[in-house]
């Protein structure tokens, strides 16, 4: 359905009822003349649109007579404070109306309408659980579940008002449909409007699973959430949110089931693609930007209210098992304090940004699989039933003032920890825990029964309905819930919005490797390039490859493309694995995730220099495809045109990895499940053939290729390559312009200054506490910076002995301390375990043993062929260059280029 017919436009623009305005000269209920007069100068007159009920005209102002009683009730009076209006409306609502409002369910458009009516009047019932399989204890429902209600019956009989739309028609058709829903709502007893909700619908996303993401294409198209995180540009993400909010509100969508504040701590988790990565600070920055962008500083007529999910974080998993399913129903926290350290900060940021509501996850917290986290043991019930999590942690400790919106189907499909309770008891328990609205069921019978059976007081429903009505009024829905379909289409197709989105696409691409500066293929290089292209993904690779070739040919005519690998000079391979299977998630690049022909990938890479693009919905295990590529980039749901811009050098890549890529299956198996990759053991991270770690925050940019620096006295030296690398990078210098003196010993001051400069440590204050270092020494700043960083302490007599040759153990100890300073990590093995292989280990001083062992574990110092570490032997300038290079590579402070 691409265009709106003239009949649809007529319905959208004109309704007979909207022309009815009744002028009243008699006293009216619900308005205090004095307060109204006082508000006249402060309260702007809102735009009103009534299409079913009449308007009231009083003292020159108009109001909607939503309950049709011919007089102005307080809740109809837009001049009154919202809390006063809400209180009045709640007092007029029946139990049935309150219960209906507290359900939010899927809703569908009639895609084959007769005439102009897009409303679907069919109920959709389920007898089995879509998240279970035959034989599971939760597969068959005790009684059928109403997943989606027909529109008219849902609003007028079941009193539903919150609807999650799943389809993605063009913006004008969407607006027309949603207007028709609002007309039904306006025609109800009290005229309470509907709140139209959606999951994200602006992102390129491979996971179109129910309840996760909707089809993209009708609004501006942006990178996936991981891609937005990879930009590291919170201002751009806020701008995205503001643009998307304009598109949504213009079409009539006013609430978003988004975004995920969860951080990735298990790389196998199948919801990874919808997160902002693994670091709490990054997730907090991104979630703040989207809340502020969609909602504004405060909720208003131009806002989209957000439901931040999934509290208290869904990333803590065991082997990636997801709690939609019976086999993944608990959250493990095996690391003491991990819940508050890693998983809560992004939710705290969302709360501070003003998120309207928060969604608890399905899972329950497992005591058996957890170290101490909060005070006392967990109540092992789903988070939506867990008072300690919702009331004590979310509301009392974090200060959340909004409402709690459950995930879909907690009373039917995923009632973890409360399986033995009746549905009425489940509703009562969730309400007691602090829930305000229930997702995934359209039948209010059981909630009504819970009140009538005295399992919960009606006053508790009043609290929830007050939250919901407040949101509706803040959004301006009581005054004008309708939208203009023509304007909706105009806003949705605004080319300036897509221009800004394209900027985000380019910024989201991460350059991981670029051997011999293969990229960019600029205008000078491209003349000699014949590019072979192939896509590997789940589905029709031939069709996908053909589509990519057409896109590239249309976008950049200067690229010569060949379908014959034998005549190609270069290749571009794009690997796009599918999201891991929830029942048995794997991270391999292989058939498990839709990549059937890995041998073909490596055949291409072995034939011509290949640019390898890896689309990352999860941190894949890439060791079987990455090594043979000449250049490697990472994408996170991106337009092909953006990749072309990066490959051609039209855009210098700036993206950074939003998560750590695991080294191998062993690293995944040993992953703690509740700790992000950046805080795992150093062996966790994947390192490419040059030893560069693909860790969180890693990403390259194109740099001019500096002229190689070399020295006459290292021509045949064993450390030549490392000396030249550091000298070319400007990290070390020769003794003279032409000589390096590789076998000359290096002093304590020289090495300390070298290490401080390499790490970017500076200290403006030259004052030092060593008796043999004064502020006029050329290395005084660096020595003081090293002291401030905890790298050096000096001798007991207060000296530093700067001109003394540094020993191998002293140098190793400084490097071990520097690793602590940069990575904030401890060694994973005891010093005795690490040093056991060295025959002269007893010569290592006690003061340095722990740091020397860490340097050995990091691979910075390796010992001799005779298994000696030679701790007291002075270090040479060549040894210094080698050890410093290994260390800088280890902490990603250096990129080794060919």
Q: Give CA separation, 369 vs 267, 269, 380, 388, 586, in Å.
A: 18, 17, 11, 18, 22
Two structure tokens written together for 222: 């942006």
Burial of 720 (0-12, 13-18, 19+ CB in 10 A): middle
Peptide bond into 177 cis (omega under 30): no
Runs of H (alpha helix) within 746-857: 748-758, 780-788, 808-823, 831-835, 849-857
Greatest Cα pair distance in the chain: 105
Element holding 231 (H helix, E strand): helix 225-231
Strands 437-439 and 61-64 come out as: unpaired
463 contacts 494 by C-beta, under 8 angstroms: no
Q: What angle do CA 592, 548, 525 make, to 5 degrees?
A: 115
From the CB of residue 45, how many other CB atoms can be counted at a distance below 10 Å?
12
Strand order in the sheet with 61-64: 21-23, 55-58, 61-64
Q: The tokens 């000296």 sit on which residue?
A: 799
CB 278 within 8 A of CB 660: yes
> Three-class SS of residue 791?
coil
**Rounded to whole angstroms, how far apart are CA atoms 787 and 801?**
14
Beta strands in 32-80 (DSSP E): 55-58, 61-64
Between helix 280-295 and helix 345-353 the angle, nearest 10°, is: 20
**What is the distance between the alpha carbons of residues 460 and 733, in angstroms, rounded to a whole number?**
73
Main-chain dihedrals φ then ψ at residue 611, nearest 5 degrees: -90, 115
Query: What are the angstrom distances between the C-alpha of 813 and each of 319, 810, 845?
Result: 37, 5, 10
Q: What token pair was written down for 1? A: 């359905």
- Helix (H, G, I), strand (E, B), or coil: what is residue 405? strand
Q: How far apart are CA 219 and CA 200, in angstroms?
A: 11
Whole-angstrom distance, CA of residue 888 vs CA of residue 891: 5
Tokens 């600070």, residue located: 281
Catalytic residue among 73, 407, 674, 851: 407
407 labelled catalytic? yes
DSSP letters spanning 628-694:
T-SEEEEESS--HHHHHHHHTTSS------SSPPBSSHHHHHH--SSS-GGGS-GGGB-B-TT--B-
Query: What angle, 0 to 180 degrees and rounded to 10, lies between the N-to-C axes of helices 171-186 and 6-13?
Result: 40
Beta pairing, strands 140-148 & 124-128: antiparallel
Catalytic sites, residue numbers: 407
């Amino acid at each position: 359905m691409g265009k709106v017919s003239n009949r649809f436009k007529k319905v959208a623009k004109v309704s007979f009822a909207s022309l009815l305005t009744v002028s009243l000269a008699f006293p009216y209920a619900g308005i205090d003349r004095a307060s109204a007069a006082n508000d006249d100068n402060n309260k702007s007159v809102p735009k009103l649109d009534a299409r079913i009920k009449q308007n009231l005209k009083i003292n020159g102002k108009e109001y909607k007579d939503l309950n049709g009683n011919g007089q102005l009730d307080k809740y109809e009076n837009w001049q009154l404070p919202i809390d006063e209006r809400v209180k009045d409306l709640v007092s007029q609502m029946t139990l049935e109306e309150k219960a209906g409002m507290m359900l939010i369910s899927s809703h569908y458009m009639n895609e084959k309408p007769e005439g102009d009516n897009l409303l679907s009047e069919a109920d959709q019932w389920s007898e089995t659980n879509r998240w279970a399989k035959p034989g599971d204890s939760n597969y068959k429902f005790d009684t059928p579940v109403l997943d989606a209600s027909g529109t008219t019956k849902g609003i007028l009989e079941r009193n539903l008002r919150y609807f999650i739309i799943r389809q993605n028609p063009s913006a004008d058709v969407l607006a027309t449909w949603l207007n028709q829903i609002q007309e039904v709502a306006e025609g109800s007893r009290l005229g309470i409007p509907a709140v139209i909700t959606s999951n994200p619908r602006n992102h390129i996303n491979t996971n179109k699973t129910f309840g996760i993401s909707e089809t993209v294409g009708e609004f501006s198209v942006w990178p996936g959430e991981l891609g937005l995180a990879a930009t590291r540009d919170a201002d751009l993400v806020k701008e995205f949110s503001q643009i998307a909010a304009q598109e949504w509100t213009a079409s009539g969508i006013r609430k978003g089931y988004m975004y995920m504040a969860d951080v990735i701590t298990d790389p196998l988790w199948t919801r990874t693609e919808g997160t902002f990565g693994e670091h709490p600070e990054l997730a907090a920055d991104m979630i703040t930007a989207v809340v502020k962008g969609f909602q504004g500083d405060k909720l208003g007529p131009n806002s989209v209210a957000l439901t931040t999910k999934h509290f208290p974080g869904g990333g803590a998993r065991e082997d990636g098992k997801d709690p939609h399913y019976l086999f993944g129903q608990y959250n493990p926290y095996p690391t003491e304090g991990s819940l508050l350290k890693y998983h809560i900060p992004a939710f705290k940021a969302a709360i501070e940004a003003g998120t309207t509501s928060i969604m608890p996850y399905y899972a329950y917290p497992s005591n058996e699989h957890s170290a101490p986290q909060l005070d006392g043991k967990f109540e092992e019930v789903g988070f939506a039933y867990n008072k300690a999590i919702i009331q004590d942690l979310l509301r009392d400790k974090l200060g959340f003032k909004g409402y709690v919106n459950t995930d879909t189907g907690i009373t039917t499909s995923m009632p973890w920890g409360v399986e033995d309770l009746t549905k009425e008891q489940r509703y009562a328990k969730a309400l007691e825990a602090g829930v305000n609205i229930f997702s995934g069921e359209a039948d209010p019978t059981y909630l009504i029964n819970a009140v009538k059976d005295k399992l919960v007081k009606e006053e508790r429903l009043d609290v929830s309905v007050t939250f919901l009505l407040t949101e509706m009024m803040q959004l301006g829905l009581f005054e004008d819930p309708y939208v203009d379909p023509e304007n909706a289409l105009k806003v949705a197709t605004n080319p300036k919005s897509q221009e800004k989105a394209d900027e985000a696409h380019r910024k989201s691409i991460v350059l991981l490797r670029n051997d011999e500066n293969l990229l960019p293929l600029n205008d000078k290089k491209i003349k000699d390039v014949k590019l072979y292209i192939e896509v590997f993904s789940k589905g029709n690779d031939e069709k996908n490859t053909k589509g990519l070739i057409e896109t590239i040919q249309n976008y950049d005519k200067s690229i010569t493309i060949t379908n014959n690998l034998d005549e190609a000079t270069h290749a571009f391979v794009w690997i796009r694995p599918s999201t891991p299977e929830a029942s048995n998630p794997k991270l391999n690049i292989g058939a498990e995730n839709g990549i059937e022909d890995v041998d073909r990938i490596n055949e291409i890479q072995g034939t011509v220099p290949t640019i390898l693009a890896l689309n990352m919905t999860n941190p894949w295990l890439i060791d079987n495809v990455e090594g043979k590529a000449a250049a490697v980039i990472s994408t996170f749901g991106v337009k092909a045109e953006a990749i072309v811009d990066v490959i051609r050098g039209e855009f210098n890549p700036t993206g950074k990895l939003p998560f750590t890529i695991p080294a191998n299956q062993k690293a995944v198996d040993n992953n703690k499940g509740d700790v992000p990759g950046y805080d795992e053991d150093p062996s966790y991270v994947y390192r490419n053939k040059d030893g560069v770690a693909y860790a969180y925050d890693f990403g390259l940019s194109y740099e001019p290729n500096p002229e190689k620096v070399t020295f006459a006295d290292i021509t045949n030296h064993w450390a030549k390559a490392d000396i030249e690398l550091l000298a070319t990078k400007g990290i070390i210098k020769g003794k003279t312009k032409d000589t390096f003196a590789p076998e000359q010993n290096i002093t304590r001051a020289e090495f300390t200054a070298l290490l401080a400069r390499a790490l970017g440590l500076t200290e403006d204050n030259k004052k030092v506490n060593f008796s043999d270092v004064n502020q006029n020494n050329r290395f005084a700043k660096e020595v003081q910076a090293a002291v401030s960083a905890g790298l050096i302490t000096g001798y007991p007599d207060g000296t530093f002995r700067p001109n003394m040759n540094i020993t191998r153990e002293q140098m190793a100890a400084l490097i071990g301390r520097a690793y602590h300073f940069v990575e904030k990590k401890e060694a994973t093995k005891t010093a005795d375990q690490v040093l056991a292989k060295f025959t002269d280990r007893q010569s290592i001083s006690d003061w340095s043993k722990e740091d020397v062992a860490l340097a050995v574990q990091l691979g910075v110092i390796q010992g001799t062929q005779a298994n000696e570490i030679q701790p007291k032997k002075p270090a040479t300038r060549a040894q210094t260059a080698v050890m410093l290079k290994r260390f800088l590579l280890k902490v990603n402070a250096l990129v080794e280029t060919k």
